[in-house]
Structure 1
Amino acid sequence: MDASPSGSRARRLPLSLAAGLSALALASGCSDSATDSPEPSVAAARQDSASRAVAELESDYQRVINDVLPSVVQIQTADGLGSGIVYDDDGNIVTNAHVVGDAKSFKVSVATGEHVLDASLVSSYPDQDLAVIRIDDKPDGLRAAKFGDSEKVEVGQIVLAMGSPLGLSSSVTQGIVSALGRTVSESRSGGGTGATLANMVQTSAAINPGNSGGALVNLNSEVIGIPTLAATDPALGNSAAPGIGFAIPVSTVKTIADQIIDKGKVTDSGRAALDITGRTVVDDDYRPAGVALVSVVRGGAAYDAGMRVGDIITRIGDTEVTTITSLAEALAGEEPGDRVKVTYTRGGTTRTAEVTLGEI
């Protein structure tokens, strides 16, 4: 059921780092002359400094794990399992929509596996692949996670992924933030929602089934994202591409979760829309060639711009549109109220329209 979650076997980074730092320290003092070699006391001091750096990094990892892991839970449904994060002191847990699927009730285990609790669905929002469930009888001592600020996330930051990959609860792996602002589309196969997700955090932490809905955290013990899916490589039979995983940013998580908790549903998605439904069409060579409008909401963005059923969208701004997925990806970078130029064909004639975008 888990489309593409996050986690991997822990790498022994501290040992590798120690070796690397030691080698660097020794090499920096070398020259062609043996008399230029550092004194034994200098080399020893550098070795000691490297060892302290490794010990400090290791201590940071252990502190973050102790801080955050009690807030990460395993979620089990009749179809499979995934992970979640304790969102607040009221027993609300945020996770991926593809983790909860169609289920309304769940078994929730704390990360250590000591307690199994009953939980119920609050609401699911598949368009952003997020959901909130609530523990029916909240136990004492349940610890809410600390959520960070997406504006402070930077490429190169060390991050830890926590969850239950392949059912292995309390698993912790490490990586870095590899990139920001990625737009990716989930597959519907394997239980995915098919959603197009914008502003994703790319991470080198591996993504494995069962880790979806867990926590991607920085070394300040702050959740900066929810691991959600992994890139797949068609050359490898669509198996996961190692080291390319994606997490929903914490800004999106908080925006959606707060609305679900306060109102029981999402009323303000912040996602741009044309207010149409469409389907991919192909050309004479059976290649994807655009998105045909199957229905157009009267009074919606496309309708007000003069577009009608049967029109075929081929471009949004300067971005070519060949499939329904590429259309969603083109719109993912826009906001409701933005004006965009839409190129489309009607009866074989190319037209353009200035569209003020609506909201999903």
Structure 2
Amino acid sequence: MNVAPDADSPDADSPDTGDAQYARPAEPPESQQLTPSRPRHAPVSPSTAQVFGRPSGVRGSFATSTDNRSPEPQVAAPDPVLAEAFGRPAGSAETLQRDPLATYGQTEQPRTPDDPWRDPESPARLDAPALATASVETPTEAGPKLGVRDILLGKRLSWVALATLTVIALLIGLVGGLMGRYTAEVAAPLTSDTVELSTEDTGGDAGPRSSVAEVARAVEKSVVAIDVRAAGAYATGSGFVIDKAGYILTNNHVISMAANDKSAKLEVVFFDRQRVPARIVGRDPKTDLAVLKVDNVENPTVSVLGSSGDLQIGEEVVAFGSPLGLNRTVTSGIVSATDRAVALTPDAESDTDAVIDAIQTDAAINPGNSGGPLVNAEAQVVGINTAGRLGAGGGNIGLGFAIPIDEAKPIAEALIRDGRVNHPQIGVNASSVRNERVLGAQVRNVVAGSPAERAGVRENDVITSFNNRPIESADELNVAIRTANIGESVPFQYWRAGRTFSGTITPASD
């Protein structure tokens, strides 16, 4: 089918002039056009036709143009700064990566070997050998030594040198002689056979030279050492004679082993080393006191008992005993405090369960001093050495405690008389309490029908005073109760629910 060109097309009737812009094919008349009709394209600009159009004279898709065409777009040269920063260095190989060890801008020079002998490219030449051989010189032998004859007769030395040596030798001898003479006159000999040591005659048996020596002489013969020996066990302590019949006062914890083991051997050693067997008269674990008796001892020295109620803080005292088995030991100190409540608890060697109203002293009291007398400056017994606080290494630290003799006397008399002791009690168990509201002994339970129940004491009451003695702990309450008399009413105070109440209570026998 022939199609006529479009009358509106500018190149419809004109032949191909070689322009890059090609004319559209002629469209058929509207009566011959197919529906829908194609949209018309916008005219192509000359610059676009120049870049993307066919070359002049080429009508196919892959035809090769032989005509000269206008210059194609060219890539401009790179900026010098960018070329220096990102381009390859001058003379570098055509590689994609630069040598990381190479120095930019410098040419690496090959290293020249220091030793030409090791350089395979070095030229041949005459030079020193590769290994130089050191020449060894022949050692020179020492010549003969000069003797006296050579020096004096051989003319090997000049007369000037010989005279100089003679003068030097004379000077050395002169100086040595003078020094020997000087030291012989100044330094005395270390030993002598004429020395005799002199002593001062004191005129025989002199009297005591101190107050402690005087007390020791007056008391030492009444003090005894106590030995307890059982199978595989041994205990030692002290005591003192309180009656010519052979009664001896000591601590209960000293003889607890003998009391609980009938096979144990109990002996008393006197000042003159006389060793005699002893028997237990009675003992009281609640006060840590015991009385022994020895027989067939003629005229024993009896201790003089004083009064512990008259003691003053700072008063001098002397402690006697056998610390660590060292009998006839004396230590001295002062009274540090009185009315010090000290608890003694049972252990594997003793059944003592007591709270003592102790005398505190700095006189050394060590294990073995227990049961010995604490004596004042008048040689009167004012206490029984009972306990001591030891340091970390086991030594005495100046904290010793003794039972006051005023409390020990009635206990000893009761033991000698009855063999046992009755103690006052009020029927309560208490524990120490210390807080911002109250200070004292808090009642944990009250025995039914006891003196405390009759006096109106209830659980959780805090007793702050008993028998006119301030109470700050449960131990102080125990001491205050024990020092009261059975059947005799005493005043006391207690704290309850923020209020303090007063009352009286009558201790009963235990």
Q: Is the counterpart of residue 217 in structure 1 residue 389 in structure 2?
A: no
Q: 1:241 to 1:117 in 2, by over 3 A?
A: closer
Q: 1:56 to 1:181 in 2, by over 3 A?
A: farther
> How many corresponding residue pairs?
284
Kept in 2: contact 1:316–1:330 (CA 8 A): no
Looking at structure 1, the residues matched to 496 and 481 of structure 2 have their Cα atoms a distance apart, in angstroms, of 15
Q: Which amino acid aligns with 1:69?
A: E
**Which residue of structure 1 aligns with residue 491 of structure 2?**
339
Give the C-alpha shift of residue 304 in structure 1. 0.7
Q: 1:350 to 1:262 in 2, by over 3 A?
A: same
Q: Which amino acid aligns with 1:109?
A: V
Looking at structure 2, the residues matched to 245 and 128 of structure 1 have their Cα atoms a distance apart, in angstroms, of 17
**Which residue of structure 2 aligns with residue 65 of structure 1?**
216
Mapping of residues 311-350 of structure 1, within 5 Å: 311-317=459-465, 319=471, 324-325=474-475, 327-328=477-478, 331=481, 337-343=489-495
Give the C-alpha shift of residue 168 in structure 1. 0.5
Q: Is the counterpart of residue 75 in structure 1 residue 226 in structure 2?
A: yes
Looking at structure 1, the residues matched to 399 and 493 of structure 2 have their Cα atoms a distance apart, in angstroms, of 33
Q: Is the counterpart of residue 109 in structure 1 residue 261 in structure 2?
A: no
Kept in 2: contact 1:95–1:132 (CA 8 A): yes
Give the C-alpha shift of residue 351 in structure 1. 9.6
Looking at structure 2, the residues matched to 229 and 197 of structure 1 have their Cα atoms a distance apart, in angstroms, of 10
Looking at structure 2, the residues matched to 57 and 181 of structure 1 have their Cα atoms a distance apart, in angstroms, of 33
Q: Which amino acid aligns with 2:451?
A: A
TM-score of the two chains, using structure 1 as the length reference: 0.68
Looking at structure 1, the residues matched to 496 and 389 of structure 2 have their Cα atoms a distance apart, in angstroms, of 31
Q: Which amino acid aligns with 2:314?
A: G
Equivalent in 221, 238, 244 of residue 89 of structure 1: 244
Structure 1: stretches of 5+ with no match in the other structure: 1-54, 282-288
Identical aligned residues as a percent: 34
Looking at structure 1, the residues matched to 484 and 395 of structure 2 have their Cα atoms a distance apart, in angstroms, of 29
**Which residue of structure 2 aligns with residue 265 of structure 1?**
420
**Which residue of structure 1 aligns with residue 505 of structure 2?**
356
Looking at structure 1, the residues matched to 211 and 396 of structure 2 have their Cα atoms a distance apart, in angstroms, of 28
Structure 2: stretches of 5+ with no match in the other structure: 1-205, 260-264, 434-440
Looking at structure 1, the residues matched to 381 and 211 of structure 2 have their Cα atoms a distance apart, in angstroms, of 15
Looking at structure 2, the residues matched to 262 and 301 of structure 1 have their Cα atoms a distance apart, in angstroms, of 28
Q: Is the counterpart of residue 275 in structure 1 residue 423 in structure 2?
A: no
Q: 1:203 to 1:139 in 2, by over 3 A?
A: same
Q: Which amino acid aligns with 1:196?
A: V
Looking at structure 2, the residues matched to 303 and 142 of structure 1 have their Cα atoms a distance apart, in angstroms, of 50
Equivalent in 299, 305, 317 of residue 455 of structure 2: 305
**Which residue of structure 2 aligns with residue 22 of structure 1?**
none
**Which residue of structure 2 aligns with residue 169 of structure 1?**
327
Give the C-alpha shift of residue 169 in structure 1. 0.7
Q: CA RMSD in A?
A: 3.4
Give the C-alpha shift of residue 329 in structure 1. 5.3
Looking at structure 2, the residues matched to 319 and 161 of structure 1 have their Cα atoms a distance apart, in angstroms, of 30
Query: Higher helix proportion, which one?
Result: 1
Equivalent in 277, 284, 293 of residue 134 of structure 1: 293
Q: 1:333 to 1:108 in 2, by over 3 A?
A: closer
Greater radius of gyration (CA): 2
Give the C-alpha shift of residue 219 in structure 1. 2.5
Kept in 1: contact 2:429–2:443 (CA 8 A): no
TM-score of the two chains, using structure 2 as the length reference: 0.49
Give the C-alpha shift of residue 313 in structure 1. 4.1
